[in-house]
Amino acid sequence: MSTGQPIIVLVKPQLGENIGKAARAMLNFGLTDMRIVDPRDGWPNPSAGPTAAGADNVLEEAQVFATTAEAVADCSHVYATTVRKRGMTKEVLTPAAAAEDMAAASGKCAILFGPERSGLELVDVELARKIITVPINPEFGSLNLAQAVILVAYELSKLDGAETVQPTIETKKREPAKQIELDQFYEHLERALDEAGYFYPPDRAPATKVTLRNMITKPAWTNEEVQTWRGVISALEKPFVKK
């Protein structure tokens, strides 16, 4: 089982009422860890309390971040909820399959929910290791924020009694890399490739960077592997000296 309960991350929510409804949905199924990214109307928002219907502790303890990357920096598993195809080679899970995946994971898990109107932006989905989607009506794929949260929270609650396996000293060496480690790895790689003139022609650079980011955010990277590859990049950055 992952370390602690999954974290619900609301990315750029627009209405305080919807944040309150999401908090209510969370607490209905025992989730209390909410993180809010760049809320449109600021935080705290007086409109959130009434619709939370008693889930005030979730709102009071909610953490606010300027960017999605900062909100999930300490997480080893990031899931993006979206119903839209984005041309990404990421594993797609139903809420039930995602709940099982989190139950078997080690390290913190975060689930991203996008703003009410447009959903998650590409830059946010890029941070995720896997995508959660629901097989809803293709002609009307519209869920409000609280509905999306409650679908996932319900599936998580069904596995709440799953047995927790404590990691040994050996398995700790192979713990999944945290999001901030992957971000730093990607930034290091992009910087080195840019200096080497890899991103050519320039008009292809954005697509190439998206592909690289998707490769790095795929599951299974361990912190040890990330550090090893960063060492490799550092070695390649140094001028070659023949002994």
pLDDT digits over 182-237, tens only?
A: 889 889 999 989 888 888 888 988 888 888 888 888 767 888 888 888 888 887 88
The whole model's pTM is what?
A: 0.73
**Helix (H/G/I), strand (E/B), else coil: 10:** strand
Structure tokens at 31: 């989730």
Alpha-carbon distance of 66 to 70, in angstroms, equals 7
Give the pLDDT of residue 224: 82
Give the pLDDT of residue 85: 57
Structure tokens at 68: 């999605």
CA-nearest of 148, 243, 159, 234 to 192 is 234
Q: Tell me the pLDDT tens digit for each residue of 18-50.
A: 999 999 999 999 999 999 999 999 999 999 999
**By percentage, how much of the chain surpasses pLDDT 70?**
87
Q: Report the greatest alpha carbon distance in the chain.
A: 71
Question: Residue 93 class from Cβ within 10 Å (0-12 exposed, 13-18 middle, 19+ buried)?
Answer: middle
**By percentage, how much of the chain surpasses pLDDT 90?**
50
Overall average pLDDT of the 123-149 stretch:
86
Calculate the CA dihedral of residues 224, 214, 91, 109 and round it to 10 degrees: 50
Give the pLDDT of residue 213: 86
Q: Tell me the pLDDT tens digit for each residue of 102-118.
A: 998 888 999 999 998 88
Question: Residue 78 class from Cβ within 10 Å (0-12 exposed, 13-18 middle, 19+ buried)?
Answer: buried
Contact by Cβ (8 Å): 13, 41: no
Alpha-carbon distance of 3 to 128, in angstroms, equals 18
- The CATH code of domain 7-158 reads 3.40.1280.10
The band of 120, judged by pLDDT with boundaries at 50, 70 and 90, is very high
Q: How far is CA 166 from the centre of its chain?
A: 23
Q: Residue 165 is which amino acid?
A: V
Least confident of 73-87, 123-137, 154-168: 154-168
Contact by Cβ (8 Å): 233, 190: no
Q: Is the pLDDT of residue 16 over 60?
A: yes
